[in-house]
Amino acid sequence: MKCERFKNVGHWPTLLAAFLYFDISFMTWVSLGPLMIYIAKDMQLSVEDKLSLVAIPVLGGAFFRMPLGLIADAIGAKITGVMAQIVVLFAVTLVYVFGLSNPLSISLFGLSLGVAGAAFAVALPQASRWYPPQYQGVVMGVAGAGNMGVVLDTLLAPSIAENWGWRAVYGLLMVMMAIVLAVYAVAAKDAPATRASNRPVEYGRILLDGDSRWFMFFYFITFGGFVGLASALPLYFTVQYHATGVAAGLVVALIVALGSGFRPIGGYIADRIGGIRTLSILFGVVSLCYFGVAAMPEGPAPAGAAGWTLAQLPPIAWAAVGLFSVGVLSLGMGNGAVFQLLPQRFRNEIGVMTGLVGAAGGFGGFLLAKTLAFSKGATGGFPAGFSFFGLLALLGLLGLLFVKSRWRTTWGAASGARI
C-alpha cells in the first residue's frame, strides 16, 4: 500500500476524528481499572469484588454497542457520536464534582461508562464507509487503534491519583473529552453513500448467518482478551506480584501499548497475507501466552507494607510482563485481522456487524475479568482463569481451520482482497 495513494482516497479528517473519538472514549471506558485501588481504598472490598467492579464498564460497553449502532444507522454516525460523548462527559463531570462513595455508586458510574465503550459501534463504521475494500484492514486498524487510550490511563492515572487524588484524573478526562468533542463535531463527516436503515430485526436476521457468529466468537477472543486484561491487569500485578499502584500502572501501560500500537499492523499484515492466516498464527501465540502465565507462581512480597516499585519488581514479575506483552500484542493484531475480514463478508451490513462483534468483544472482556475474579475466589489464585482463556484461543484456531476453505472459495473469492 502506497501512502500517497491512501491519502487520495476516503476522507482523512473523518478517519482522524473517529480515531480521537474512540481514543478518548476507550480511555474513559477502562479508567476504573488503574484507579480501583484508590477509589475503593477505604471500602474494605476483596480482590474478587474489585475485579467484578472493573468488569462492569466492559459489560456496559457490550450492552450499549448494538443500540448505539442502530441509532447511528437511523440518524447518522456523526450526530450519534456527538450525543454519546455528551452523555459520558456529563457522567464524568458528576463524578469529578461529587466523587464515588460506595460500591453501588461505582457500579452505576461503571454502567454509564459503557456508553463510552460503545463508541466502537459508531467510530469504526463511520471511518470504514469512506474507503474501498483493499484499504479496510489499515483503515479499521487505524480507527480501532484508538484503544491506545488505555495506555494513557495506566501510565498517568495512578501517578495523578497518588499526588492529587483520583478525582483529579476525571477532572483531566473532562477537559480532554470536551476538546475531542469539539474536534469531532467540526472534522467528522458521514460518508455520502446511502445509509442502511437497520431495524432491530436486522440483528436477528444476520445472527442466523453462521459467519456472523464465527466473527463474534473470534472477536470475543481478541478484543475481549485485550480489554479484559487492560481492565484487570493493574489489580493483578498489585495482588500477584505485590507492585505499587504506580508500578502496576507503568508495566500495564507497556503491555497494552503493544496491543494498541500493533492493531493497524495486524490489519496491514492481514491485507497482505490474508486475515485467516494472520489470525491462525495469532491465536496459537495467544494460547501459549495464556498457558504460560497460568503456570507462573506468585511473586515474593516486600518486607514492608508498601508494594514493590518499578525498579524493585522481582524477576518473576518481569517474566510475566514479557509473556503478557507478547500475548496482548497478538490480541491487538488479531483485532485488526478480524476487521480486515469483516467488511469483505458484510460490506452492506457493516454497521450491524460492528455492533454485534463489538458487543461480543465487550462481553469477552467482561467474562475474562469475572473469570479471573471467580478463579481467585474459588481457588485462591488466577491459573484456572488464564487456562480457560488459553483453551478459548485454541478453539478459535480450530474454528478458523473449519471455515477457511469455504470462506476463501465463496465470498472471499469475490471480495477482491486477500482472505
Whether 351 maps to a domain, the answer reads yes
**pLDDT at site 7:** 62
State whether residue 129 is helix, strand or coil: coil
In a domain? residue 8:
no
Q: Which residue has the cell 478458523?
A: 400
Written as nine digits, the cell of 286 is 495467544
Q: Is 400 contained in some domain?
A: yes
| Residue whose C-alpha cell reads 508498601 in the numeric block | 306
Rounded Cα distance, 96 and 37, in Å = 17
What distance in Å separates the CA atoms of residue 73 and residue 84, rounded to the nearest whole number? 14
| pLDDT for position 390 | 96
What are the Cα distances from residue 31, in Å, to 39, 70, 194, 305, 368?
11, 26, 36, 26, 17
Q: How far is the C-alpha of 72 from the C-alpha of 80, rounded, in Å? A: 5
| 6 within some domain | no
Provide the number of structural domains found in the chain: 1
Mapped to the 3 state alphabet, what secondary structure does 140-183 carry?
A: HHHHHHHHHHHHHHHHHHHHHHHHHCHHHHHHHHHHHHHHHHHH
Cβ atoms of residues 345 and 403 within 8 Å: no
Examine residue 3 and state whether it is found in any structural domain, yes or no: no
Burial of 251 (0-12, 13-18, 19+ CB in 10 A): buried
Task: State the distance between the two ends of the chain, measured CA to CA, in whole angstroms.
Answer: 17
CB atoms within 10 A of CB 395: 13
Q: Is the distance from CB of 234 to CB of 252 less than 8 angstroms?
A: yes
pLDDT, residue 215, reads 93
User: What pTM did the predictor assign?
Assistant: 0.83
- Tell whether 7 is covered by a domain: no
Is residue 1 included in any domain, yes or no?
A: no
CA 226 – CA 263 distance, rounded (Å) = 11
Domain-located, residue 346: yes
What is the C-alpha to C-alpha distance for residues 171 and 169, in angstroms, rounded to an integer? 5
- CATH number, domain at 372? 1.20.1250.20
Q: Which residues pair with 243 in a beta bridge?
A: 308
Q: How many CB atoms lie within 10 A of CB 247?
A: 23
Q: At what angle do helices 120-128 and 12-29 cross, to 10 degrees?
A: 160
Name the residue range of residue 318's domain: 13-415
Q: Cell numbers at residue 35, please?
A: 484507579
**pLDDT for the residue 113:** 94
Number of C-beta neighbours around residue 215 at 10 A? 22
Relative orientation angle of helices 103-117 and 12-29, to the nearest 10 degrees: 170
Mean pLDDT by 10 residues, the chain (419 residues): 59 84 89 89 86 90 84 86 95 94 93 90 79 70 68 84 92 95 91 62 78 93 91 92 91 87 84 90 96 94 83 94 95 89 80 80 90 91 95 96 89 74
Residue 80's alpha-carbon distances to 10, 88, 92, 212, in angstroms, are: 21, 13, 19, 24
